[in-house]
């Protein structure tokens, strides 16, 4: 398993994977030394993340290989269908998966998503529009949603 640390506007991200695909991307609250030579298996992920943060990429095209239960994988697959700049509620996501009563299990699987940004769990919000739990911190979720928003907030002054 290869790994690399890259700088993002939201902190240092750790990328993990191999020739079979990406297994994890996490944002860290600690400081790590930025990787100077990116392993070949992780180069595309690094470039695509850079393009995303520069506003040049809305869809990722990467081989994914996260570890999880069959149910978690179904939830993560459903997350990939949420378009850039859009959000869905946990209830809507549960309905998409065919079981409105599974809302808590869906939320738990969402919280275990190992592929930060690539599998866009940040696009799932509360039914009332609130920014509910996010493993990377609500300040990062807010930043990501604003970054993807088609309507940019402008200053009045």
The residues annotated with a catalytic role in the active site are 121
> Cβ of 100: how many Cβ atoms within 10 Å?
12
Question: Which tokens hold the place of 31?
Answer: 């400081």
Local structure of residue 58 (DSSP, 8 states): S
d(CA 130, CA 124): 10
For 66, residues 6+ apart whose C-beta sits below 8 A from its C-beta are: 22, 23, 24, 73, 76, 113, 114, 115, 119
Helices (H) and strands (E) in the chain, counts: 5, 5
How many other CB atoms are there within 10 angstroms of residue 119's CB atom? Answer: 23
């Amino acid at each position: 398993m290869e790994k690399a640390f890259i700088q993002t506007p939201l902190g240092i991200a750790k990328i993990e994977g191999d020739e079979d695909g990406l297994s994890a991307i996490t944002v860290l609250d600690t400081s790590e030394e930025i990787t100077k030579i990116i392993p070949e298996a992780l180069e595309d992920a690094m470039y695509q993340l850079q393009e995303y943060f520069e506003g040049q990429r809305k869809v990722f095209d990467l081989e994914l290989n996260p570890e999880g239960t069959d149910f978690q994988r179904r939830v993560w697959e459903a997350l990939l269908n949420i378009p850039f700049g859009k959000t869905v509620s946990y209830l809507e996501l549960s309905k998409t998966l065919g079981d409105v009563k599974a809302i808590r299990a869906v939320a738990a699987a969402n919280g275990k998503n190992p592929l930060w940004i690539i599998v866009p769990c940040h696009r799932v919000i509360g039914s009332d529009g609130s920014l509910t739990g996010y493993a990377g911190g609500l300040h990062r979720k807010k930043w990501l949603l604003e970054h993807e928003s088609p309507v940019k907030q402008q200053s009045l002054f």
